[in-house]
Amino acid sequence: MTDSPAYRLPLDPQEQPILDRLLNIRDHLSILKQDRTSYVKSQDVMKHYEAVIEQVQALNKIRENKRNEQNRVDTVLDDCFQLISLFFLTIGRNSEAPAVYSAISTVKRLLDHLKEAGFYSSKDLESVGHHIQDWQESVERGKDSHTADLLTLLDARIEVCKSTLKELHDQLSRLDPEMMGRHEKLVSILRSLSACNCRSKFPTKEVNDFEQQVNQIREEMHAETITYDGKSAEETYAAKLSNLSLSEGDVRDGREVVLALLARCTLWIDIIREKQGKIDPKFQDTYDKLLKIRNTLEQMNLTQAWSLRETDLYSFQRQLDRVDEARVNGNFLDVTGQPADLHAQRTLLYLLRKSYAFIYQYIISSEPVSEALLPIYNQLLTLKRCLQEVKRSGGVDSPRELYPYSMKLNSVDNMKKDGKFMVGNDIPEGQASVTALLDECFELAYELRSEADERSEKKDEVETNGVASKAVEA
Report CA-CA distances (Å) from 88 to 319, 434, 437.
21, 17, 21
C-alpha of 303 from chain center? 15
Distance CA 84, CA 150 (A): 12
Q: Quickly count: other Cβ atoms within 10 Å of residue 86's Cβ.
A: 26
Q: Quickly count: other Cβ atoms within 10 Å of residue 159's Cβ.
A: 12
Task: pLDDT tens for the chain, 474 residues: list them.
Answer: 445 554 555 577 888 999 999 999 999 999 999 988 888 999 999 999 999 999 998 988 888 777 667 788 888 999 999 999 999 999 999 989 999 999 999 999 999 999 998 889 999 999 999 999 999 999 999 988 888 888 988 999 999 999 999 999 998 888 888 999 999 999 999 999 999 999 999 999 999 999 999 999 999 998 888 776 767 777 777 776 665 544 444 556 788 888 889 989 999 999 999 999 899 999 999 999 999 999 999 988 776 555 678 898 999 999 999 999 999 998 999 999 999 999 999 999 999 999 999 999 999 988 889 988 988 998 999 999 999 999 999 888 888 889 999 999 999 999 999 889 988 888 898 999 999 999 999 999 999 999 888 887 777 666 666 555 555 555
Angle among Cα 241, 247, 253 to the nearest 5 degrees reads 75
Coil vs helix vs strand at 339: strand
Strands (E) across 284-418 are located at 416-417
Signed CA dihedral, 423, 427, 430, 431: sign only? positive
